[in-house]
Amino acid sequence: MATRDTDLTSLRIDRSARPGGFPSRFRRLRRWLGWSLVLALIAGAFFFFKDYFRSGLEVQLATVSFTSPAQANAVLTASGYVVARRKAAVASKGTGTLVYLGVEEGDRVKKGQVIARLEDSDVMATLARAKENLRVEEADLKDARLSLERLKKLLKDDFVAQADYDTAEARYQRVVASIAAAQFAVKEAEVGEIVAPLAGAASSRAAVVTIADLGSLEVEADVSEANITRVTSGQNCEIRLDAYPDRAYGGAVSKIVPTADRAKATVLVKINFKSYDHRVLPEMSAKITFLVKGFGADPAAFQPVLTVPAAAVVERSGRLVVFQVKAGLAVEVPVTTGRRIGDLIEITQGLQDGDKVIAKSGENLRAGARVAVKTQ
Same domain, 241 and 276: yes
Pick the closest to residue 93 from 210, 203, 209, 206 (CA basis): 206
Domain range spanning residue 308?
57-67+304-373
Residue 6 has pLDDT above 70, yes or no: no
C-alpha 73/C-alpha 235 separation (Å) is 12
Q: Which has more confidence, 182 or 70?
A: 70
Interatomic CA distance for residues 271 and 47, integer angstroms: 64
CB 42 within 8 A of CB 35: no
271 shares a domain with 122 = no
pLDDT at 161: 81
Number of domains in the chain: 3
The pLDDT tens digits of the residues spanning 337-359 come to 998 888 899 999 999 999 999 99
pLDDT band at 40 (very low <50, low <70, confident <90, very high): confident
Amino acid at 226: A
pLDDT per residue as tens digits for the range 97-149 = 777 777 777 788 888 888 777 776 776 777 777 777 777 777 777 777 888 78
Residues 247 and 181 in one domain: no
Cβ contacts of 83 within 8 Å, gap of 6 or more: 217, 218, 219, 220, 282, 283
Average pLDDT over residues 319-328: 92
Percent of the chain with pLDDT over 90: 29
- Give 73-101 pLDDT, tens digit per residue: 888 999 999 999 888 777 776 666 777 77
**CATH for 355:** 2.40.420.20
- Where a domain ends, among 263, 278, 302? 302
Residue in 207, 210, 187 with CA at minimum distance from that of residue 197: 207
With cut-offs at 50, 70 and 90, classify the pLDDT of residue 182. Answer: low
Predicted local distance difference test score (pLDDT) of residue 184: 63
